[in-house]
Amino acid sequence: MKFKLLALSLALTAVVPGLGLAQSVDTVAKAKASGVVTMGVRDSSGALSYTLGDGKYAGFHVEICHRILANLEKSVGRKLEVKYLPVTSQNRIPLVQNGTVDIECGSTTNNATRQKDVSFLPTTFVEEVRIAVKANSGITSINQLNGKNVATTTGTTSVQTLRKNERASGIDFKEVFGKDHSDSFLLLESGRAEAFVMDGAILAGNIATAKVPADFKIVGEVLSVEPIAIMVRKDDAAFKKIGDDTVKDMLKSGEVAKLWDKWFLQPIPPKNTRVGYTASESTKAAWNAPNDKPMEDYAKK
């Protein structure tokens, strides 16, 4: 397959749901007719999806998506040009809905609200939302965030999760927002925030690529358990089946576990740093029983 970076224009950053193509695009037919498919990628979603520079992207979900698109090629019987489109937490769902992005390969939580607008492939990663702080901050728990600036990324669920956590009752903190995960981490790194609340793997990935990784640590209670999955358009049955079947086959063969080892436990480009993030028991359970259940099904009763 031929890969090409698709620049993110100003028009795309302002896109909203419901712009004509939403929900009605048959990706298989579209790919067969045009010979082009667009992959939504993230600049700094830890080892799930990140930029290598020069229009190149890599990561656990990016590699799984390439396997899916290879099977799409077989299905349509022609070579496909794969275009990368960097997306953000804020615009990823609208860009999938309106047909700009065909498959989103980042770090999106599968929840009931989002399932009204998009579809998810089987869960490949069950995340634990945690807190990153500077190692010398003295912060070890949620209840020490009172009066602090807490960073998170616009369009994510993490601070909502923190506010709903029973351990955060009575804690008054100020939210500061980064436009993407690297920007949010910069708020912590520069001292404009005392904590960064986000998926643990994203925190670990950003810490691993920091100037001095030892200056940061992940602390505190697990705030929530969230299934993370690759996202496709809603009611796009033929393409979802290709995606579902590909992921299930990779889970059954052990390929997903091998990719986890490659991206989370071994040195990865561009700096050959090691994220050092072991798959949780919840992740392994999702691998053993593939499903696209939303995070509400994971909530403790």
Are residues 199 and 55 both part of a single domain?
A: no
Boundaries of domain holding 140? 127-226
Rounded Cα distance, 254 and 261, in Å? 11
Q: Domain holding 88: CATH number?
A: 3.40.190.10
**Tens digit of pLDDT per residue, the chain (301 long)?**
544 444 433 334 334 343 444 446 899 999 999 999 999 999 999 899 999 999 999 999 999 999 999 999 999 999 999 999 999 999 999 999 999 999 999 999 999 999 999 999 999 999 888 999 999 999 999 889 999 999 999 888 776 777 777 667 788 889 899 999 999 999 999 999 999 999 888 999 999 989 999 999 999 888 888 899 999 999 999 999 999 999 999 999 999 999 999 999 999 999 898 998 999 888 999 999 999 999 999 875 4
Rounded Cα distance, 127 and 5, in Å? 29
> How many distinct structural domains can be found in the chain?
2
Are residues 106 and 145 both part of a single domain?
A: no
Are residues 141 and 94 both part of a single domain?
A: no
Give alpha helix (H) positions in 108-214: 112-115, 158-164, 181-189, 200-208
Rounded Cα distance, 261 and 9, in Å? 35
Match 């896109």 to its residue by tokens. 15
Residue count of the chain, please give it. Answer: 301
> Quick one: pLDDT at residue 161?
76
DSSP assignment of 220-254, as one string? EEEEEEEEEEEEEETT-HHHHHHHHHHHHHHHHHT
Determine if the pTM surpasses 0.85. no
> Quick one: pLDDT at residue 7?
42
> Quick one: pLDDT at residue 69?
98
Classify residue 189 as exposed, middle or buried by CB count within 10 Å of its CB (0-12, 13-18, 19+): buried
